[in-house]
Structure 1
Amino acid sequence: MNPLHLETLLAIVDEGSFEIAAAVLGVSPSAVSQRIKALEKDVGRVLVRRTSPATATDAGEVLVQAARRMALLQAETNAQLSGRLERVPLSVAVNADSLATWFRPVLRDVAGFGHATLRLRIEDEAHTLTLLRRGDVLGAITREATPVTGCETLPLGVMRYRAVATPALREEYLSGGRLDWARMPALRFGPNDALQDTDLEGRLDMAVRRRRAVSQIPSSEGFLEAARVGLGWALVPELQAGELLESGELVLLDDSVVDVDLYWQRWRLESDLLERLTDAVAGAASVLPESRTVPAGTAPGS
């Protein structure tokens, strides 16, 4: 299997099109197309869906993961030979709440790796594992403790969420000492955000939840700001809401706590750079409360 063809496949998947991949590789779109056709002929499978954006088929995902592993190892080998770190894209899937809070020191640490580059994919922590399984990333912040095939898991701790709102919003929908959860406007991060549904279990039945006034704010910082100005009540991380709770701009709506266990899943690959990245993630996550359970299948010594 031609390594150049694998590199081309990886570029197409990362960039989302044959044309942009050609520009990144410094060749013509025709050359990119010919390489992919040759690779598909070699393996006897269609590897790329010619859509916008271009995506890998199931067979293509297998080769994308192999290509990404090869790229990382090649870059580290070049670093050892040349005495300097070549540009190594560290592709990581992370949820928006983690990026807005505890994950930020990882950016500082990677800045000290030399010329390594960081490519973050933002996705809900319940769905980041899909990107890891497809080979789109080499590590992911996830809720899933069971390792993906070829990966290992490191427990990070607990992301703790609380229901908050402005004092005025709470008072408006407070009657007889009880909150009217059905009528009080709410905030939702996006279509994959299931945390609020978890928080509402036992308070509202599913039919009532569907009829509520819900604003969708797909930005962690924007989500918190929407809560601060009273657009709706929100389920937010304690790490993020602390200052606003202390200032009184936001108040807790009840004593309920939603805990989300977070894990770092990464390829099981002998790579100094991947080990350094894992150490950076573990160090940044030290601010999280510890999980009460450490499931089987986690990384040795974790």
Structure 2
Amino acid sequence: MNFEHLKALSAIVEAGSFDAAATLLGITPSAVSQRIRALETSAGQILVRRSLPSSPTEAGAVLLRTARQILALEADALQSLGQRPTGRATVALAVNADSLATWFVPVLQDAAAWPDTVLDLHIGDQDHSSRLLRQGDVLGAVTTDPKAAGGCRAELLGVMRYVPAASTTLRQRHQTSDGVNWSEMPMLRFSTDDDMQHRFLRSQGIEHFPPTHTIPSSEAFLAAACAGLGWGMIPEQQLQQDLSHGLVPLPGAPSDVALYWQCWSMVSPRLERITKAVRAAGSKLRQSDPLT
């Protein structure tokens, strides 16, 4: 397939429209359209949904991944030849919000010294990262999935421990003779897909769930817990840093989540540099088996 056609596909998805892709590539919108039509003719399928923003079809996602791999290899090859590529190469990564707020920060500090790379972080639940890898949206991801996505490699980073915690005031308000009143004490969750708190309550024999506040931000989730809005499963690293803010652990077993680094299986100095930085940062996670 024609490399320029694949670059046009990548630019459309990155920029969100044919016109914006034309500006990004320095060509006319008509030229972008011609390249996509030629690529679709070659593939025998529609590759781009003509919507705002433009998005790849299922077939387009397959070619998008190939396009981004080639672009990454091109940037690495130019650098190896001593040629400075135009601008910086964009590297898309998927990181869950709790990791970004805690152990992943040193990766950002390392990236600040990379003159040839721009990070494009996709934030969301770690369970969805594998989908982003399969679609070609990201080159690497922090995920809970130990099974490598097709064309990727996976390695265990460590274990992230979550501890049930609440403000001192909230705990005192719902204190009972044998612990806390789980059925009445307000609860926090990160999103509608976040069932960690519910699983904890079931482990306590609770099926009647209390009033629940949804806080879709790791930092705001912590702030809400500190403010007494509700209790929640707090990353151990955050809890250790914020005990002085009035958070206290609640009775019950913590929840351990094993995190993996998955990235494309390709020989790329840039990707290896990122993997090395993620691996080093991940060494701060628990390295023992869960709940030991």
Question: Shorter-chain TM-score: which interval?
Answer: over 0.9
How big is the shift at 1:249? 0.7
Q: Which residue identity is paired with 2:80?
A: Q
How big is the shift at 1:29? 3.0
Q: 2 CA distance for matches of 1:194 and 1:11? A: 37
Q: Which residue identity is paired with 2:232?
A: A
Residue 218 (structure 2) aligned to one of 187, 210, 220: 220
Task: Give the structure-1-normalised TM-score.
Answer: 0.90
C-alpha RMSD over aligned residues: 1.7
Q: 1 CA distance for matches of 2:118 and 2:63? A: 22
Task: Give the structure-2-normalised TM-score.
Answer: 0.93
Match of 2:110 in 1: 109
Residue 256 (structure 2) aligned to one of 252, 255, 259: 259
Match of 1:188 in 2: 189
Residue 277 (str. 1) matches residue 274 (str. 2): yes
Distance 1:279 1:224, change over 3 A: same
1:139/1:264 contact within 8 Å kept: yes
1:85/1:114 contact within 8 Å kept: no
How big is the shift at 1:214? 1.3
SS at match of 1:261: strand
2:179/2:251 contact within 8 Å kept: no
Q: Which residue identity is paired with 1:244?
A: D
Which residues of structure 2 form unaligned runs of 5+?
A: none
2:142/2:260 contact within 8 Å kept: yes
Report 1:1-302 matches (<5 A): 1-84=1-84, 87-203=88-204, 206=207, 208-209=208-209, 212-245=210-243, 247=244, 249-292=246-289
How big is the shift at 1:25? 1.9
Match of 1:299 in 2: none
Q: Once structures 1 and 2 are overlaid, which stretch shifts more, 188-197 or 91-100? A: 188-197
SS at match of 1:12: helix
SS at match of 1:127: helix
Distance 1:112 1:162, change over 3 A: same
1:49/1:55 contact within 8 Å kept: yes
Q: Deviations over 1:142-173 (max 9, x none)?
A: 00111111111111000000111111101111
Identical positions, percent: 46
1:157/1:289 contact within 8 Å kept: yes
Q: 1 CA distance for matches of 2:251 and 2:238? A: 17
1:158/1:291 contact within 8 Å kept: yes
Q: 2 CA distance for matches of 1:52 and 1:203? A: 47
SS at match of 1:109: helix
Q: Deviations over 1:10-40 (max 9, x none)?
A: 1122233223222222233333223212211
Q: Deviations over 1:87-137 (max 9, x none)?
A: 111111000000000001111212223221111111111111110011111
Give the number of aligned pairs: 289
Distance 1:155 1:109, change over 3 A: same
Q: Which residue identity is paired with 1:21?
A: A
Distance 1:121 1:248, change over 3 A: closer
